[in-house]
Structure 1
Amino acid sequence: METSARHLLKESRTHGDEQHPFGMYWLNYGPGEHVIDCHWHEEAEIFYCMQGETLFQVDTDYFLVRAGEAVFVDGGDIHAAHAHGRDGCSFFSLVFDTNLLASANYDAVQEKLVLPLVERRGTFPRHIAGREPYESQLLQHIAAMMESCRQQPEGFEGAVKGRLYLMLADLAASGKRSSRMDSSRSESSKIERLKAVIAYIQHNYERQLRLSELAALIPMSEGHFSRFFKSMTRQSPMDYINSYRIRQAAELLREQERKISDIAMEVGYDNISYFIRVFRKVMHCSPSDFRKRLPSHDQ
């Protein structure tokens, strides 16, 4: 199972497999470094902030997340993280399909705990800050799951699954479950429009994309679309496209035999000098320096 600091934005990827039904990731960002672009996936996700702080976005909600706090993202929710403060930040992320928790038979666990989570009528708070006793309990479970994933003793998958059940039980006992079944019609419309644009970008990033082409998807005028996109993602459309392309390039750079010029072309840049300039802006180093800094197991 992957435990690297990589976290692809193209979320058609599979998180885990049948034997390891969840994905686990350690994400590290330097001071002022761009954190996580707007994206979504069908699985639920738990972020645990280990160091620093960041401004987190889930759908249209924004909140500051500090070390020792966590974020819960329901499947299908758009989410992003934006740099905040002078220090870097690091996260542990657990991505899992809620079907992981399904009972073999329809029992009380399925009815009272799992189904409300799946249907979003009895789910976790988005920001778990530890201000109340039940939140502190949830954070203790998340920290224990992180440690199990780090050490990976025999049977650790059961420990992770068990902790998720305990989190659901503690949440239900607290009477503090959140319902996110009924978001406002206007908010839902905004989110679905943004999803359509992001999906289009992720499927067509390797070729030239015009602002008019993206605006027509919604549809909006180019000016209205630019304002809408930035209000939802805190990035201009072109900044988002460049960031997505560069992060795809960063993954390809791990293949040592690939030429940098070929990678630039593959992710949508026909000018190598411009590619290097954009790469440096996003990653704070040149493509060749990025490749040199890769851990030995990636080389």
Structure 2
Amino acid sequence: MVDKTEFHIDQNLKELTEHRTVSLPIACYETTIIHNVHGHIPLHWHDELQFVFVMQGEALFRVNQEEIGVPEGNGIFINSGSMHMAEDIEEGNVCKYICLNLSPQFILPAELYMKFVHPYVTATNVPYLLIRGDQSWGVKILQAIQVIKQNLRTQPVHYELDISAQLLTIWKQFISNGCLLEYDPNEIRRNQRMKGMLEWIHVHYAEPVKLKDIAKAGQLSRSETCRYFKQMLRTTPIHYVMEYRIRKSLELLQLPEMSITEIAYQVGFNSTSYYINQFGKIMNTTPLKFRREIELKRRVDMNG
């Protein structure tokens, strides 16, 4: 099974990875957080449901406004549309997990989907659920994730049916041990505004960005915009812009034909020295060293 190391995200933070095999609308892969090109799993969201089983170390997930530590032997469910990211709980901790993404519509046939799946996908109080490895229902879910991973890897006869059966086990355990569902229109509106502001940033990040422009995209005052970012992303709007510019530059640094200066200006910096300075603060290295490390890793991968 391939270790996923890159996340391709559109201007609205939606992950572009197609979560499916040839015949099934699911994907199951191993991720070592520190091996990601960003050094962490960047903020993103997707339509698919996500079930995670932490095999090694401990991950710190941020889902919407909350931070959740998920230690080895435990897991987490992340709902459709929830903004999330992940990083190692602390420096030196190497976290590896299995990630299962699946289309909500694949869990049950249409006749049962509206009763047993749709209410959970649309609820505003279930952005995530911690799956505990010391509870019987959690153990059943985590075991099913591992069985699905094995079936996708070996593909025995009728493996699609076996996977379908495991998904039913996962979902039954999930809804049997969840909570009363809530549908808060204010929370829906908050998420829509937040995604609107992020989408504006991701379209205009290479231009001069002002707080008033971000606020206008979210139909908020400047003070409310700062409060949204502080509560939901644990940062300020301008610092988020800075981090996003650095993140976009990581992609360009993998193109050897582009100079550091060209990259700096293309992602919105007005000087190379300022770009290098901010890159160091966020990435704890220089753009040149990062480029060399990527090239070395690429050569190692090519040679086996």
Partner of 2:171: 168
Unaligned residue ranges in structure 2 (runs of 5+)? none
Structure 1 residues 16 and 119: alpha-carbon distance in aligned structure 2, compared to 1, 3 A threshold: same
Partner secondary structure for residue 126 of structure 1: strand
Deviates more, 1:56-65 or 1:193-202: 56-65
The answer to whether structure 1 residue 57 and structure 2 residue 36 are counterparts is no
Q: How does 1:1-299 map to 2 (within 5 A)?
A: 3-10=3-10, 11=14, 13-16=16-19, 19=22, 21-23=25-27, 24=29, 26-29=31-34, 35-81=40-86, 84-90=89-95, 91-103=97-109, 106=110, 110=113, 113-120=116-123, 126-146=129-149, 152-154=153-155, 158=160, 160-171=163-174, 175-183=176-184, 185-294=185-294, 295-296=297-298
Letter in 2 for 1:21: P
Q: Which amino acid aligns with 1:153?
A: T
SS of residue in 2 equivalent to 1:293: helix
Deviation for aligned residue 1:234 = 0.8
CA distance in 1, matches of 2:136, 2:274: 52
Matches of 2:177 and 2:20, distance apart in 1: 32
**CA 1:43–1:234: 2 relative to 1, 3 Å:** same
284-293 or 153-162, larger mean C-alpha shift: 153-162
Shift of 1:115: 4.6
Letter in 1 for 2:25: P
Q: Distance in 2 between matches of 1:4 and 1:252?
A: 19
| Alpha carbons of structure 1 residues 4 and 288: separation in structure 2 relative to 1, 3 Å | farther
Q: 1:205 to 1:146 in 2, by over 3 A?
A: farther
Q: Percent identity among equivalent residues? A: 24
Decide whether the 8 Å contact of 1:70 with 1:139 is kept in 2. yes
String of CA shifts for 1:80-130, please: whole Å, max 9, x gaps.
346644443424333332233353xx455x466545554559x89611122
Normalising by structure 1, report the TM-score. Answer: 0.79
Q: For 2:91 and 2:64, locate their aligned partners in 1 and report how far apart those are by CA, in whole Å.
A: 25
Residues 29 and 118 from structure 1, CA distance in 2 versus in 1: closer, same or farther, beyond 3 angstroms? same
The 3-state SS of whatever aligns with 1:29 is helix
> How far, CA to CA, are the matches of 2:214 and 2:117 in structure 1?
38
- Residues 108-165 of structure 1, C-alpha deviations (whole Å, 9 max, x = no match): 5x466545554559x896111224210111122223344556xx33469836554323
Q: TM-score, normalised by structure 2?
A: 0.78
